[in-house]
């Protein structure tokens, strides 16, 4: 299962209750009883979402999520806390760059919707990164073609959207198509 979610809380009863809340969700749930244990799991698995309690011994949730933000910026981070202070919320948002802030006791529907939304956010951002990478590669190929065939950047489009290649003979067009790995259309 690709939808891995990490739950971090120093109270085992809270972790178990969260896990029960998510039993019917399309995700694989991992539990950590401390920030240190959570960081170890992050080194072993590709999580999409991390939900952390704010008040934990030895490291606060804000500090933990801040580390995740630096080491695993793609992971969507959510804070869960029983302390509803504005200061705690601001610290979590500013340091951990969190996606959501949930209060204990949580509402099961809100928890599930937050996780679904976080997974969707993760997936969309990964798809965007993939498309940007492909776009950069295509841009590099176009730059290389421009170097090999000066004047290529001055390509115009016809009214139907097709490319108009002026001052290029058939051999030059064939060379460009080969470099861009475009198949030559076959006549029927």
**pLDDT (0 to 100) of residue 160:** 76
Q: What is the pLDDT of residues 121-155, one digit of tens each?
A: 999 999 998 988 888 888 777 767 766 775 555 66
Same domain, 84 and 153: no
Q: Which CATH number covers residue 40?
A: 3.40.50.2300
Q: Are residues 67 and 116 in the same domain?
A: yes
| Domain enclosing residue 40, as ranges | 4-129
Percentage of the chain lying above the pLDDT 70 cut: 77
Q: Is the pLDDT of residue 79 over 60?
A: yes
Give the pLDDT of residue 184.
61
Q: Is residue 174 part of a domain?
A: yes
> What pLDDT score was predicted for residue 104?
87
- Residue 137 in any domain: the answer is no
Q: Are residues 28 and 91 in the same domain?
A: yes
Tell me whether the omega of the peptide bond preceding residue 100 falls within 30 degrees of 0, making it cis: no
pLDDT tens digits, residue range 106-118? Answer: 999 999 999 999 9
* The model's pTM: 0.71
Q: Is residue 98 one of the residues assigned to a domain?
A: yes
* 119 φψ region: left (φ > 0), alpha (ψ -120 to 50), beta (else): alpha
Number of domains in the chain: 2
Residue 31: predicted pLDDT: 97
Distance of CA 95 to the CA centre of its chain: 19
């Amino acid at each position: 299962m690709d939808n891995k979610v990490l739950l971090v809380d120093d109270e085992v009863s809270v972790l178990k209750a969260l896990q029960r809340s998510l039993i019917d969700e399309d995700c694989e749930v991992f539990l950590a009883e401390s920030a240190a244990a959570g960081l170890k799991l992050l080194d072993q698995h590709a999580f999409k979402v991390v939900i952390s309690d704010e008040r934990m011994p030895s490291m606060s949730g804000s500090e933990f999520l801040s580390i995740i933000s630096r080491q695993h910026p793609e992971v969507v981070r959510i804070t869960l806390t029983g302390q509803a202070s504005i200061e705690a919320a601001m610290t979590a948002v500013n340091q951990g760059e969190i996606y959501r802030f949930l209060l204990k006791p949580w509402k099961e529907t809100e928890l599930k919707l937050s996780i679904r939304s976080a997974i969707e956010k993760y997936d969309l951002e990964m798809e965007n990164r993939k498309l940007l990478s492909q776009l950069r590669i295509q841009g590099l190929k176009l730059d290389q073609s421009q170097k090999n065939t000066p004047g290529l950047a001055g390509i115009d489009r016809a009214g139907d959207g097709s490319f108009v290649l002026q001052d290029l003979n058939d051999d030059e067009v064939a060379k460009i198509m080969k470099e861009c790995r475009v198949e030559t259309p076959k006549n029927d």
